[in-house]
Amino acid sequence: MFNQDTISRFQNIETPFYYYNMEVLGQTLAACHAASSKYGFHVHYAMKANFNPKVLEMIQSFDFGADCVSGGEVMAAIEHGFGKEKVVFAGVGKSDKEINAALDVDIFCFNVESVQELVIINDLAKAKNKTAGVAIRINPNVDAHTHHYITTGLDENKFGINTWQLGDVAETLRGCKNLQFLGIHFHIGSQITDLEVYRSLCIRINEMQDWFEDRGFKVKVLNAGGGLGVDYYNPDTNTIANFEGYFKVFKDFLNVKPGQEVHFELGRALVAQCASLISRVLYVKNGQKKNFLVLDAGMTELMRPMLYQAYHEVENISRQWAVGSGQLSSPGVGRSESSEDKPTHPSPLTTHYDVVGPICESTDCFRKDVPLPESFRGDLIAVRTAGAYGEVMASGYNLRTKAESVYSE
Ligand code: LLP
């Protein structure tokens, strides 16, 4: 829901653009901070979800660490003030250049995804006469019950080290004098809304830490990764993810020993709700079978619906402020946000549209059969809950210009 002033402001901005509500971001970060600190848990922000500089700045101000997946992210984390002792680096394909760069800035920990990678990090650290902190990313074979494209913790996934290889890991660690074993790392997938899944993960983490401790390895860090999902269906009412419930599962089921630290890597849950993609209707195509709203934004700006069949609310914000029974108002005509300004939705003029983008691909469709007020060329359309894996996954396909970012005032 956007107030009238915000919609008026949008009228003068070239579309498409990402709109960041910094107040929502601040509230989300505060909620996560409060819920995690209650148990002394450490949260690293998964930068891949959104590395917009202003977003990073605000996240860093809440004292979160950074979870990075490339040399570029490691550098951006340091540049944006994340303490090097709070930077972790995961990824199945870390290049030598990236490992060297991370060694140079003395990051806290490499989350290592293969036995071969352990040896490479050891060699590179030795060449620099340094010791690299490492955690072993274990593939726990726990089903996250999410879309298969964003599931990462099953035996068939490329991520992490399978449990049958742990003997090899232990032996390699013993021979690698330039590595300091810090602990174990897991990440089973993204957009997880069933908290039961995390209970199963806790059981696996408990087993795995015992495995290492039984073999003489002190496990200092238990890193449970990220994945907490958000409510894409209610962008206004459920703007804060269930941080309380999420951390409580770990409090209740993780076997945390004295001196151990529990780490998390949340991305989506921190940033998804704070942004919307704002675009304009270019054309309304009324066909015999379908009505299409052709927007000036498409899969080049937000790829999630096309790549994962992800659901995002789509709203015609030029026509959301209706007065009385279905009378539609124009945006920005001097009305303030008051209790009378309740949207009456759906309006009697509701039409079903396939909301599509301008890109030359049939999959370039945000949603099919969306009930919307009758819409016209120039109307502003908001695709909600686009703060995570939105702007950062934009592409230049069709030689598109990158959408600008606009922030709440
Ligand atoms: N840690 C690791 C090792 C990860 O690979 C990820 C995400 C996270 C943490 C953060 O997960 P989150 O809390 O954001 O769920 N592009 C997809 C999501 C890909 C997630 C990749 N890894 C999407 O738009 O749904």
CATH code for the domain in which residue 74 is found? 3.20.20.10
**Pair of tokens at residue 112:** 């290592």
Domain boundary among 244, 272, 300: 272
pLDDT given for residue 263 in this prediction: 98
CA 248 to CA 219: how far, in whole Å?
A: 22
| Contact between 141 and 120 (Cβ < 8 Å) | no
Asked if the ipTM is above 0.95, the reply is yes
Closest CA to 382 of 374, 372, 368: 372
32 CB within 6 A, ligand 1: no
Q: Residues 106, 34: one domain?
A: yes
Total domains in the fold of the chain: 2
Closest CA to 373 of 330, 341, 409, 340: 330
132-139/109-112 β-pairing: parallel
**Pair of tokens at residue 403:** 């959408």
Range of the domain at 220: 22-272
| Contact between 322 and 347 (Cβ < 8 Å) | yes
pLDDT given for residue 347 in this prediction: 52
**What's the CA-to-centroid distance between 225 and ligand 1, angstroms?**
9
pLDDT given for residue 142 in this prediction: 80
CA 318 to CA 378: how far, in whole Å?
A: 9
Q: Residues 63, 98: one domain?
A: yes
Q: Residues 78, 222: one domain?
A: yes
pLDDT tens sequence for the chain (409 residues): 899 999 999 999 999 999 999 999 999 999 999 999 999 999 999 999 999 999 999 999 999 999 999 999 999 999 999 999 999 999 999 999 999 999 999 999 999 999 999 999 999 999 999 999 999 999 988 877 777 776 776 777 788 899 999 999 999 999 999 999 999 999 999 999 999 999 999 999 999 999 999 999 999 999 999 999 999 999 999 999 999 999 999 999 999 999 999 999 999 999 999 999 999 999 999 988 899 999 999 999 999 999 999 999 999 999 975 443 334 444 433 333 333 444 444 455 789 999 999 999 999 999 999 999 999 999 999 999 999 999 999 999 999 999 999 999 8
Is position 4 within any domain? no
pLDDT given for residue 324 in this prediction: 36
241 CB within 6 A, ligand 1: no
Q: Which long-range contacts (CB under 8 A, 24 or more apart) does 87-94 make?
A: 87/44, 88/44, 88/135, 88/185, 88/223, 88/263, 88/265, 90/137, 90/185, 90/187, 90/265, 92/158, 92/159
Q: Residues 57, 198: one domain?
A: yes
pLDDT given for residue 409 in this prediction: 80
**What's the CA-to-centroid distance between 188 and ligand 1, angstroms?**
9
CATH code for the domain in which residue 345 is found? 2.40.37.10
**Pair of tokens at residue 83:** 């303490």
| CA distances (Å), origin 298, targets 79, 206, 264, 295 | 31, 44, 33, 7
90 CB within 6 A, ligand 1: yes
Q: Residues 249, 288: one domain?
A: no
Q: Residues 28, 54: one domain?
A: yes
State the DSSP code for 12: T
305 CB within 6 A, ligand 1: no
pLDDT given for residue 320 in this prediction: 79
**Residue 56, phi then psi, degrees to nearest 5:** -60, -40
Query: How would DSSP label each residue in 174-225?
Result: HH-TTEEEEEEE---BSSB--THHHHHHHHHHHHHHHHHHHTT----EEE--
Return the best residue to mutate from 190, 242, 301, 304 for the ligand 1 pocket (most ligand atoms within 8 A of CB): 190
Q: Residues 212, 79: one domain?
A: yes
Residue 356's beta-bridge partner residues? 294, 365
**Residue 86, phi then psi, degrees to nearest 5:** -120, 20
CA 268 to CA 130: how far, in whole Å?
A: 34
